[in-house]
Amino acid sequence: MRIDALLRAGRTRSFEFFPPKSDDESVTLEATMVELAALEPSFVSVTYRGGTESRQRTFDLVSRIQGDTGIVAMAHLICVGHSVEELREILTNYLANGVVNLMALGGDVPTDPALARGDYAYASELVSLARSIGDFSIGVAAHPLGHPRSPNRTSDRRYLAEKLRLADFAVTQFFFDAREWVELVSELSDLGVDKPVLPGIIPVTTLAGIPRMATMGAAVPPALVDRLERAHERGGASAVRAEGIAAATDMCRELLNEGAPGLHFYTMNRSTATREIHEQLYGV
């Protein structure tokens, strides 16, 4: 099943995993996938860090999920560090294994210059290559407040619109205010692009996680920080966790009310918080 077809059929709910690096991480991920599979996701996605080892882990996990569980799986692929020939080989191998859903990303530039070599610099180039190789359903990334490397919001939106015209849908970086998604979709529409943009969701469940969110891609807004700190004053860590899940659930409801085509949950390979939000939203 193609993700673009799923989005045309109705709202989706999806989960994102990353390939484990150790036996302990593998055990955690296996338990998480079993628990989340019971929620009957529309699809799941698997991230990709680059390099030969990570490439194989992503390939193996995506192929196993789709082959063994029947759950629709989407493979992430980045431009950074790859020649065109390598990208062709990866894409051809996915097609040969029946994987047709692809998240095309530029990728973070690694600190080691030797790993940064590659023939492509932009996700749009990877989308075009994938189109030339096979009939993929292709997603791209969107940043509600603009990509960190974009010089300004206007240029960010123009580039995103150009990229999304080539792709089938977008998935956003996580964020914490539904208005950011609404503004993003409105600005893309003003540029003539109305393809589905799935909002990315992750709850903040600890005060220690607040600064980490900024390094991961999106700062926690002051209003939410205040909400979590007040929860801590009332009931400590457990109250912070409950308030963080409640805040994420509130935002999800607002997004759905605003017409979001679905919700994409960043699970961090754990299921508990995602399952709690899912139950509040869907009763399952």
φ and ψ at residue 132, rounded to 5 degrees: -75, -15
Number of other CB atoms surrounding residue 238 within 10 Å = 11
Distance CA 184, CA 149 (A): 17
At 272, list the tokens.
């508990």
Helices marked H in the chain? 3-9, 23-37, 52-64, 84-96, 123-133, 153-166, 178-190, 209-216, 222-257, 272-282
Active site residue 187: no
The bridge status of strand 169-174 relative to strand 137-142 is parallel
Q: Which of 16, 180, 187, 243 is catalytic?
A: 16
Which residue type is seen at 124?
S
Q: How crowded is the C-beta side of 101, counted as CA atoms within 13 Å? A: 25
For helices 23-37 and 272-282, angle between their N-to-C axes, nearest 10 degrees: 10
- What is the distance between the terminal CA atoms of the chain, rounded to a whole angstrom? 23
Output the CA angle 168-172-174, nearest 5 degrees: 160
By C-alpha distance, which of 46, 40, 85 is closest to 63?
A: 46
Q: Which residues are catalytic?
A: 16
